[in-house]
């Protein structure tokens, strides 16, 4: 009986500490706020730096319907010869409802051979993703694509 009492006593404070610490951990973890389309537009505007984007040179290849938003494949292709005289210098990927509006930025040079990048991204919910490319002559091009997400990632709860 004394042995059971000792076990209860030694487990009691430890269990209480664990419960208190786990409660603190829940309090200390901030909720993931979602970016807004306006924040995406502001991040895109910063990338564009006042330049008017062209349409038609950038293509986003992503599934129109993503079952699980935790890992959505995205490929961005840019129509460019990738020569010393004419090439893509940067490709950026933006979204409108994830915690960060700019998902990625890739730097390229003629040595890449082709202007194409692939990645996977988390998608909080159905949203438009936008790709922008900057060329060595200072021009920029963009494309947007809506991805429908059935199981969301980056959730607040």
- The mean per-residue pLDDT over the stretch 16-29 comes to 46
Q: What is the pLDDT of residues 112-157, one digit of tens each?
A: 999 999 999 999 899 999 999 999 999 999 999 999 999 887 655 4
DSSP codes, 17-82: HHHHHHHHHHHHSPP-PPP-HHHHHHHHHHHHTTPPPEESSEEEE--SEEEETTSEEEEEEE----
Give the separation between CA 108 and CA 90, rounded to whole angstroms. Answer: 6
pTM: 0.76
Q: What is the pLDDT of residues 42-88, one digit of tens each?
A: 999 999 999 999 999 999 999 999 998 999 999 999 999 999 999 99
12 DSSP assignment: H
């Amino acid at each position: 009986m004394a042995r059971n009492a000792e076990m209860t006593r030694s487990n009691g404070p430890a269990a209480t500490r664990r419960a208190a610490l786990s409660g603190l951990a829940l309090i200390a973890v901030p909720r993931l706020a979602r970016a807004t389309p306006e924040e995406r537009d502001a991040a895109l505007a910063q990338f564009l730096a006042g330049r008017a984007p062209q349409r038609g040179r950038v293509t986003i290849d992503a599934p129109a319907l993503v079952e699980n938003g935790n890992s959505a494949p995205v490929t961005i292709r840019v129509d460019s010869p990738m020569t010393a005289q004419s090439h893509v210098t940067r490709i950026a990927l933006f979204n409108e409802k994830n915690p960060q509006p700019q998902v990625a930025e890739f730097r390229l040079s003629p040595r890449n051979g082709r202007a194409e990048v692939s990645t996977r991204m988390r998608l909080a919910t159905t949203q438009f993703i936008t790709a922008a490319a900057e060329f060595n002559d200072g021009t920029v091009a963009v494309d947007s694509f809506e991805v429908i997400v059935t199981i969301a990632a980056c959730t607040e709860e």
